[in-house]
Amino acid sequence: MKSIYQALAELEKNNQPAALCTVTKSQGSTPRHVGSKMLVYSDGTFIGTIGGGDMEHRVLDEAWMALSDGKARSLTYTLADPKRGDPGVCGGTVEVFVEPILPTPTLVVIGGGHVGKAVVHLAKWLGFRVVVSDDRAEFCNPQAVPEADEYLPIEMGKLAEKLTVTNQTYLVVTSRGSGVDAQGLPSLLKSKAAYIGVIGSKKRWLTTVKALKEQGVADELIATVHSPMGLELQAETPEEIAMSIMAEVLLVKNQASGKPMRG
């Protein structure tokens, strides 16, 4: 059986999430000592133990919530009287620190043209894992778009089949037109992506919305899309547009206000 440390190394290698639960304080009679660990995966499985029983079950629930909201938490349990809600009868007190280990955020650039190439460069510099996708192979390779971590030369509509989209995934659509967007977006709108942005004018987006509705895509899904995407910077060059787009991505990622710092 692999150790928790081996499992942590595999998580980093495969860019996968989990929650590490560690006993940080133990007073009196408790089932496990300080330093005991349990690693909880998003699929419900786990390795290691912090003591078993009802206390461990409660920590598992907190671990899955931590994976969902991305927030660490420190938990304290008194193991004395189950009648008053305590998760045990050992008599001691245990503190457990639950730390979500989230994968490096992935930014998927759909469309390898001038703006897409600039977004890849900036996103990589900002620390994202970057995936490039374009149904035109000549726009989706290391020579055409350097610096990406992965290249998927497929249609947008097939992305959901080839790519695991989580709440740590940011989708930036810099495609060549509304027709491509209308065909490819429906499957992506059903994903757990933290952000979906589509480049273009308001008129282009309205054309796409009309086509999506004709396909039966629900209004609430369409409303999740940021389009025209980016912050208003009067951007003109591909590099300036990429800055505008990534500013909005960071705004969403960091749950920021976007207000001027001098305010």
For Cα atoms 197, 136, 177, give the angle at the middle one, nearest 5 degrees: 40
DSSP label of 91:
-
Residues 6+ apart with CB under 8 A from 263: none
For residue 173, CA distances in Å to 187, 211, 245 come to: 14, 17, 10
Q: Return per-residue pLDDT of the chain as tens, 263 residues.
A: 789 999 999 998 888 899 999 999 887 666 678 899 999 998 889 999 987 777 888 899 999 999 988 899 999 887 654 554 444 546 578 889 999 999 899 999 999 999 999 999 999 999 999 999 999 999 999 999 999 999 999 999 999 999 989 889 999 999 999 999 999 999 999 999 999 999 999 999 999 999 999 999 999 999 999 999 999 999 999 999 999 999 999 999 999 999 988 87
Whether the upstream peptide bond of residue 146 has omega within 30° of 0, thus cis, is: no
Task: Look up residue 196 and give its two tokens.
Answer: 């979906």
Domain positions in the chain: 4-101, 106-253
How far is it, in rounded angstroms, from Cα 188 to Cα 225? 10
How far is it, in rounded angstroms, from Cα 107 to Cα 127? 10
Superfamily of domain 106-253, CATH level 4: NAD(P)-binding Rossmann-like Domain (3.40.50.720)
